[in-house]
């Protein structure tokens, strides 16, 4: 069971039964609050999946304009409920109302972006090869390539984004836009937020005339495991830890009928600065610490590794500025214990040391911390160097020559983002090539945190950043995870247009 839940005896019409539940806990005080939310039973899950299966027939063949209207209705309803949802999410996550308001706005923006793309035809491409007379290969009937939804999608929400990667996140928006019915497995870190968000979405879809099973929410580890193993589920997505993601990936692939699975997992995002790429040391370090501590460091785009030239005084500035920094509490106790373990692993690199740490605070808190290690040791311990610290912890390594940097980057595992601070006069082609091999996105003179929600965005990367580097969880291309190509050969136009 999760760290924010338990097992209790619940009375029903016949007898008491042992059931599990999710319980909201305030990270600032570590005290539980609010009602228990009971985990979804196998019987209830089966009913939900039956309903999703029945609804998929309606939702999949709905016209793009009607589907767009439904998504817009959901976005409007979430905006109208924003005060309640943000207040709940802040109490459950301690991420702050400002951050959470922006995150909810990002979620509704995504829904409207997909709605717009449905209206203008961007999500409904048709490739047509006109019929050609003669014998193959030159001759052939008309070939029409379209895209159809995979069916019922299981979406596993993230702890650190209760909205944008949660019950109303990008996976939900892209799955619905693709024509899939979506079943969300709520994260135990914010059960009340997930339930309130889901209630808002269900009511909005009903008001738009959509069937009840287009969107559903389930709770509990056992329900999540059953969900991905159930043959009524056709595709799954996940955002979270490598351990959890790989466990689900295995379940998805061990089924009698394996299903597509996209997991966004761990990522140590390297940032490289050349000597001419740092013009103002104080500003550079301040921006680095802003990025490192954003959201208490609980971001998949956190700048986990910073490689800077020796002799510029970066470590001295870090030591000076970090002592004045504080951050909010972590999301839950599991995050704190895992972070403590990973920091201990980093400190096993020979001659590594803590440069400085920020101020202590109450709750599930870890002070913002920067560690350094000699470049020679870093090169020899790349496996440890690649340890993701999910929290306000970063590793700064000073180098003498860019050849040392290239050696480090070439040995790094896949990541979501690689950043490069250099001047236009620098010859960094080799570095860019190396970063491009390991990253899904390469940023020029920008910190990795902050993922712009644009049609062309790619939020994924080589393993372990994600389980499929070809796919993204942000942007219009994220719908590709939830649909497949279908070729219609020799069909008349009217018949072809009826397929969905």
Burial of residue 201, with CB atoms counted within 10 A of its CB: 0-12 exposed, 13-18 middle, 19 or more buried? buried
**Whether 424 is catalytic:** no
Contact 270, 412 (CB under 8 A): yes
Nearest-angstrom CA–CA distance, 457 and 440: 10
**Which one from 300, 389, 398, 415 is the annotated catalytic residue?**
300
Burial of residue 468, with CB atoms counted within 10 A of its CB: 0-12 exposed, 13-18 middle, 19 or more buried? middle
Q: CA separation (Å) from 282 to 70, 314, 353, 364, 447?
A: 49, 8, 22, 30, 15
**Which one from 92, 103, 264, 398 is the annotated catalytic residue?**
264
Nearest-angstrom CA–CA distance, 183 and 296: 29
Measured from the Cβ of residue 119, the count of other Cβ atoms closer than 10 Å reads 16
What are the beta bridge partners of residue 269? none
Contact 229, 249 (CB under 8 A): no
What are the beta bridge partners of residue 373? none
**Whether 415 is catalytic:** no
Q: Using alpha carbons only, give the angle 336, 340, 343 rounded to the nearest 5 degrees.
A: 135
Burial of residue 29, with CB atoms counted within 10 A of its CB: 0-12 exposed, 13-18 middle, 19 or more buried? middle
Contact 171, 151 (CB under 8 A): no
Question: Which are the catalytic amino acids?
Answer: 264, 300
């Amino acid at each position: 069971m999760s760290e924010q839940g338990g097992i209790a005896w619940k009375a029903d019409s016949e007898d008491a039964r042992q059931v599990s539940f999710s319980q909201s806990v305030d990270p600032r005080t570590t005290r539980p609050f609010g009602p228990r939310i009971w985990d979804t039973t196998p019987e209830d899950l089966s009913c939900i999946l039956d309903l999703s299966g029945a609804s998929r027939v309606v939702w999949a063949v709905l016209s793009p304009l009607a589907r767009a209207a439904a998504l817009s209705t959901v976005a409007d309803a979430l905006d109208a409920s924003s005060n309640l949802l943000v207040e709940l999410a802040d109490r459950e996550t301690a991420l702050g109302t400002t951050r959470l308001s922006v995150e909810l706005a990002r979620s509704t923006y995504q829904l409207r972006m997909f709605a717009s793309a449905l209206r203008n035809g961007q999500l409904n491409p048709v490739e047509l090869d006109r019929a050609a007379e003669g014998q193959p290969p030159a001759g052939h009937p008309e070939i029409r390539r379209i895209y159809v939804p995979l069916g019922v999608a299981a979406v596993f929400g993230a702890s650190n984004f209760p909205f944008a990667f949660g019950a109303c996140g990008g996976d939900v928006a892209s799955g619905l836009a693709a024509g899939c019915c979506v079943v969300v497995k709520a994260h135990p870190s914010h059960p009340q937020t997930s339930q309130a968000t889901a209630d808002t979405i269900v009511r909005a879809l009903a008001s738009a005339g959509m069937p009840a099973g287009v969107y559903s929410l389930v709770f509990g580890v056992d329900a999540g495991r059953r969900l991905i193993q159930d043959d009524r589920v056709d595709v799954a997505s996940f955002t979270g830890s490598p351990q959890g993601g790989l466990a689900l990936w295995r379940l998805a692939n061990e089924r009698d009928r394996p299903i597509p699975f996209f997991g966004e997992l761990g990522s140590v995002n390297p940032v490289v600065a050349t000597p001419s790429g740092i013009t103002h040391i104080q500003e550079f370090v301040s921006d680095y610490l802003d990025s490192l501590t954003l959201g208490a460091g609980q971001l998949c785009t956190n700048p986990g590794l910073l490689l800077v030239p020796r002799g510029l005084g970066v470590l001295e500035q870090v030591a000076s500025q970090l002592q004045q920094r504080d951050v909010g509490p972590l999301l839950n106790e599991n995050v704190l214990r895992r972070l403590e373990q990973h920091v201990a692993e980093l400190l096993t690199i020979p001659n590594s040391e803590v440069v400085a740490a920020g101020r202590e605070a109450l709750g599930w808190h870890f002070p913002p911390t920067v560690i350094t290690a000699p470049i020679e040791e870093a090169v020899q311990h790349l496996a440890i160097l690649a340890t993701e610290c999910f929290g306000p912890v970063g590793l700064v390594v000073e180098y003498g020559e860019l050849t040392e940097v290239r050696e480090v980057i070439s040995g790094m595992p896949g990541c979501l983002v690689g950043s490069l601070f250099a001047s236009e006069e620098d010859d960094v082609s080799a570095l860019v090539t190396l970063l491009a091999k390991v990253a899904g996105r390469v940023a020029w003179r920008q910190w990795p945190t902050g993922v712009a929600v644009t049609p062309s965005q790619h939020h994924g990367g080589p393993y372990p950043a994600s389980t499929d580097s070809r796919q993204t969880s942000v942007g219009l291309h994220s719908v590709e995870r939830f649909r497949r190509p279908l070729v219609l050969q020799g069909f008349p136009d009217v018949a072809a247009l009826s397929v969905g």
